[in-house]
Structure 1
């Protein structure tokens, strides 16, 4: 990373003559780096800056007690300021869309009935609905504290977000994995993203911002952006073949045709189009991490071995590591089981193309 020019990052000397670095990109919040250039910590800060793709904050005056007023107060509250930059970017995106629709409406108008109707209108987007409901709870908590609504005004507790069908994103089956591999051979961008997601077993947000420094020496070493959990797992043979074939970006492994790191929406859109072309439109990149976890279970991995690969803290927050939770020796054992099971499965199952779905 130290030998490569980072997009949107420039150096300058401060008034003490010390070299500093800053991030500047149109439409993104400016940022001054806290960690020394070239370090892992610097790299994490850079990833967070790239991840903060949000709409600009409205600058017109807010009506006191309105949704826009409460959102502005929330942005300057510790509940928001203590969040990671990447999480702030995601939350701003949700809140700015909500502000655009309801900015001048009084926060008092969002009683249980109105919030319930909002949740019903978003049944086709259950994850987005749940996130909005969570943020509305934050706004209403701040509104109560600021005496913008009565102390007992807590309509969130009387509402429910729509249930996610099937318990979340669809986990890919072996037939669906084979369909994608048949459609996109090694050496194509969708296949590289697919192999990073499946054999790296990490979230899309971490995969799309991976740099060569994260995958070095035959291992994937990173602190997950969502949980800060550390993972240290081997780069298995199928993934190494895919990395060797590319195409690799200049700064991040996955880059757009313009040479820029993918945004969250851009990466999802690229993979979703590939899924449709492969005849599996119901699949999404998020489900590949589930497929990786399922493969661990099918291979006989223990919970500890599986979590060393995926980076989960626990099945249900029951297993936590003291200090550094990267477990390279446990991850190696788990990956060996997964690859051995894959070899047995390939030897015993004839290759059959999956019928494309309309």
Structure 2
């Protein structure tokens, strides 16, 4: 198979005669990538480096593809508006990785899927690609492959959808609890370490104040401050509802904003959150990674969750903490949606249910401890 040429990747033969691949981009450290260009492990690392350094992902094998093949359809998809404009950036990168893995997947004869004509693709080919993956991986992989298949149908390359009857595994064990929700002890621990006047502290107060996703938080700035309220369109809903959120700046956030030194940011920068050079974070991922460093510096320890997974306290957990605090304050489902930007009551009902369970359980236990007859009955047992 011909060698795949990738932007920013150079190769050389080391002292042992082995070919090595190095990712080199101006302004960033050199990174050696293990594996061979085109392999799943190599492409995962390559795409990750592109995202971290703020670069666009180039076409793979675009000049070598034959019309009508899976490779050709994938390259066409990556250029099409349905992909570039129809999908959020946070979705494009992982789905592209999955599709590239599908292209590189080999048949029993050793032929890669990408060289085959799309018109010949069958259900069993997709099932073979999904086999051996976890339930969540199967679910995510199938979504991306189905997107490619339906693009092929829209382009007249395929008459039917072979993914329609494919069932993925159901996850075993407890349902995932997602990101860790910050509670008051963790919030206070973070505040004690990161004082007012630091970007780290401002990040926490901003996330708690507006219950924002990290993508919105790293972009919000003075241009969104309108008469004491932050007003913006959440990135996640730009292509769907396009709703505008307007949330009052609370005292804790205002104090954090007032405490920031003016020389902490480069000239002309409006975003509240800036990197070590006083400039906006290159991406939501860059901000998330920096926030993880701030959590580590504050001594935030990983926690073993009920679903058996170990998780760290991260930025998204503060969004959950903000919504939980609002539910404790008596906010209704509609009021929670007005802050969070969620599109349905079902999505915020989980926070209300958690708070109501805590209150109901506390009320029940209080009744138990204040009834003399019950005490006597329990002691006699």
TM-superposed CA distance for 1:317, in Å, is: 7.0
Query: Is it true that 1:197 corresponds to 2:196 in the alignment?
Result: no
Please list, as runs of the form range in 1=range in 2, the aligned pairs for 1:193-232 lying within 5 A after superposition.
Answer: 193-227=203-237, 228-232=242-246
Query: Is it true that 1:257 corresponds to 2:276 in the alignment?
Result: yes
Return the TM-score normalized by structure 1.
Answer: 0.63
For 1:303 and 1:219, how far apart are their aligned partners in 2? 21
Query: Is it true that 1:267 corresponds to 2:284 in the alignment?
Result: no
TM-superposed CA distance for 1:275, in Å, is: 1.9
Query: Is it true that 1:303 corresponds to 2:318 in the alignment?
Result: no
Question: What are the Cα deviations for residues 151-185 of structure 1, in whole angstroms up to 9, with x where unaligned?
Answer: 25116732258589534222212222222112212
CA contact (8 A) 2:213 2:319 kept: yes
Query: Is it true that 1:279 corresponds to 2:300 in the alignment?
Result: yes
Q: What is the match of residue 127 of structure 2? A: 112
TM-superposed CA distance for 1:259, in Å, is: 3.6
TM-superposed CA distance for 1:63, in Å, is: 4.2
- In structure 2, relative to structure 1, the CA distance for the partners of 1:187 and 1:73 (3 Å cut) is same
Which residue, 35, 59, 62 being the options, matches 1:57? 59
Report the secondary structure of 2:223's partner residue.
Answer: coil
More displaced stretch, 139-148 vs 295-304: 139-148
Return the TM-score normalized by structure 2.
Answer: 0.59
- In structure 2, relative to structure 1, the CA distance for the partners of 1:70 and 1:170 (3 Å cut) is farther
Taking CA–CA contacts closer than 8 Å with sequence separation of 6 or more, which of the two structures ends up with the larger relative contact order? 1
Please list, as runs of the form range in 1=range in 2, the aligned pairs for 1:50-89 lying within 5 A after superposition.
Answer: 54-58=56-60, 59-64=62-67, 66-80=69-83, 82-83=85-86, 87=88, 89=89
For 1:213 and 1:75, how far apart are their aligned partners in 2? 33
Structure showing greater Rg: 2
TM-superposed CA distance for 1:290, in Å, is: 0.8
Report the secondary structure of 1:111's partner residue.
Answer: helix
Aligned length: 261
Please list, as runs of the form range in 1=range in 2, the aligned pairs for 1:55-204 lying within 5 A after superposition.
Answer: 55-58=57-60, 59-64=62-67, 66-80=69-83, 82-83=85-86, 87=88, 89-98=89-98, 101-104=101-104, 105-106=112-113, 108=121, 110-118=125-133, 120=134, 131-146=140-155, 151-154=160-163, 157-160=166-169, 165-204=175-214
CA contact (8 A) 1:212 1:252 kept: yes
Q: What is the match of residue 350 of structure 1? A: none
More displaced stretch, 139-148 vs 185-194: 139-148
Report the secondary structure of 2:247's partner residue.
Answer: strand
- In structure 2, relative to structure 1, the CA distance for the partners of 1:138 and 1:235 (3 Å cut) is same
TM-superposed CA distance for 1:316, in Å, is: 2.7
Report the secondary structure of 1:233's partner residue.
Answer: strand
For 1:115 and 1:186, how far apart are their aligned partners in 2? 49
Q: What is the match of residue 16 of structure 1? A: none
Report the secondary structure of 1:257's partner residue.
Answer: coil
Report the secondary structure of 1:117's partner residue.
Answer: coil
Which runs of 5 or more residues in structure 2 are unaligned?
A: 1-25, 27-53, 105-111, 303-311, 350-381
For 1:318 and 1:255, how far apart are their aligned partners in 2? 30
CA contact (8 A) 1:202 1:289 kept: yes
Report the secondary structure of 1:213's partner residue.
Answer: helix
TM-superposed CA distance for 1:229, in Å, is: 2.0
Which runs of 5 or more residues in structure 1 are unaligned?
A: 1-25, 27-51, 320-358
CA contact (8 A) 2:99 2:145 kept: no
- In structure 2, relative to structure 1, the CA distance for the partners of 1:195 and 1:54 (3 Å cut) is farther
